[in-house]
Structure 1
Amino acid sequence: MFLTQGCSTREKINCTDHDERFVYFCSEHETPCCVKCIKTKHIECRNLTTIETVVKDIKQSPSFLDLEMTLSDLLSNISNFVEDREANRRQLKEQKMQCEEEIRSARKAINTYFDQLKADLTNKMQHAFIKQESQIQTALRDIESHKARVQDLKQNLNCIKSIASDFQSFMAMRMMLQTTQIEEIEQQNWIQGDKFNWNEISIIQCDIKSSKDEPPSIGKIQVQENSCKVALKMQKSREAQLIGKNGDSRNIESIQLKVKLECTIPCKYKEQQIMDGGVLPNGELIFCDRLNSRLVILDSEGDVVRIIMLFFLSYSVCHY
């Protein structure tokens, strides 16, 4: 039973069960007891001591002094524990700030490292792109040279179609056909080769956690080559050589030239310079006189039909 500040004197010295004064103290049960308690609860107890004997000089007893010292020590220990916890908390705050700084430093180092991995992968990607772009530029330059040749052939064919005679067209077409066939074969080789393959650049991402590379990589550059996507436009069949009207194959050695018309171009000046000539669709002949800046048109018999004076120097005749 502990005494509190609010309890009465009667409660301090009387039994709460029987409302009688405590008379004895039972050492076996460590409790005071009244006469009725002895009869009901402590009838078999043998270590009963009177209250007067137990409490005599209790405040000067070693037990009381030891209890007082123990309580003081406990309070001192509690204060020490509180101070220790407060000191530990202050130290933890300092260590927390230090850890945060170390985390920021580690994150900065990781960012720097990943920036290096990114730069390395970007550099590899750039090299792959430059290589593919260089191959495409080389192919484009090659295409431009072929394009210029084909455009020249096309332009020459248009001129032949407009102003050349049938014989001139026949001879020119044979030569142009050979060059055209060479260009066709070249384009077929483009399709069959790898110069015009459709290439693609992609990144294969790597799992850094499971990567065994030293140092690890965040990805690898992959260049995939696909077949050419260009579809050639080709005639289904082409004649290997031109066939004459009678079906006989001819060559230039077997062709014999004949003079069909001799004519004199009139000129009131001492000199003239014929640069070009041609046959008009109606059979008339046209000649270009550069020195006198004129066009002279003759009929099929060689007689003058008309003369056209020019205000510029003419080098050739082109008829559409």
Structure 2
Amino acid sequence: MSSKLNVCGVCEYRNINISSMVWCSECDEGLCEECKEHHAASRGSRDHIIVPISEYQKLPSNILEITQTCSKHNEKHVIFCKKHDCPCCRRCVVETHDDCKELNAIEDVIKNVKSSNAFLEMEHTLSELSENLQRLRKNRQNNMKSLKENKTKIEKEIEQTRKLINNLLDKLQESLMKELCIAEEKENKKISCLVSSIQEKEREITEYKTNLDKIKQHASDLQTFLALKHIQQGVTKNENFIETLLKEDNLNHVTLSFEIENTFETLTTALNKMGTIILNTRTSDITLTSRKEKQAQIMLPTTHVLTIDDLKITLIKTVNTIGKDITGCSLLPDGRMIFSCFKYGQIYVVKPDGSLDFTVQVGSHTSHIYFIEDSQSLVITSVSDYSCIKIINMNTRKIEK
């Protein structure tokens, strides 16, 4: 593939060896500077999108291996078989997919793939996975930090208790310290292994995100479409990984605490233990985001992009405005409507049923209005002897500025 990228395809066909400067995904070949100009002027290729070879080579190797032509018949892919999930040339359809019912023109399938729901969903899913993995890693690292803090706190308690019983507790202290270290080491080892796995998943998702950005910029629509399916497999594995972590006890928060033995109160009895290292486990309070819980994941790009011709307008209601020379209007979140009357310099607020709610006298000819929901303010442009902008508080119905 590298030799194909570096040599101008047109010149190579003429047995001339010239380095390519740009790559045309439609023609599936590189072009030198001279051939690039002819390519841009030709009616059949002037609409093709070309990218510099240096940028195109930044695509992942598995993306570069995707071509416009069938490897078996050396003909251009023209059909996509949904049943077998693969592109087909004309001869492939006849030989292999004659009984397949869901055959679509590949131009329709890959149309607008980079702006399709599937591509956008993949971008969001990768970002979500990356964020979730970061949260998991930080959560486990924080647990390790808290275990260390627990250990430090318990060591101080042990040392304070140790002073009360002098040399008699030297041996017990050593035994208890070992138990504490073993408990912490055991849990740290488990958490460290989990953190390493999470970091590996993070690196995978980061690579997918980087590849997706490059694909979006430089890959052909076919390459993008097929690459999405490859990335989806990796995404599914990472999602399953997170689901497995949530179902199992791997994310339970582990703490260390210390409890003094009752026998410690009576030194005259046979004291054989100063205390016990207690390992407490509680359910993790980590919160992960999941787009799947909010909406169904779209796995294939839509083949039809809505245009203005697809819109159907339905009349909901007719409102009789109050006043003359209405020059501006705004709709409030609660269904009320605001109209500006240029002639009388007034603002009319109308209820959803069309009846008048209240009016505000602006004091000058009103032009345009805009409602700011956060501050419950109405911005008005006024035209009189001078032009100005007035801000009205909708709660007090007074001009503030």
Which TM-score band (shorter chain)?
A: 0.3 to 0.5
Larger-gyration structure (1/2)? 1
Tell me the TM-score normalized by structure 2: 0.32
Bigger strand share: 2
Higher RCO structure (Cα 8 Å, ≥6 apart): 2
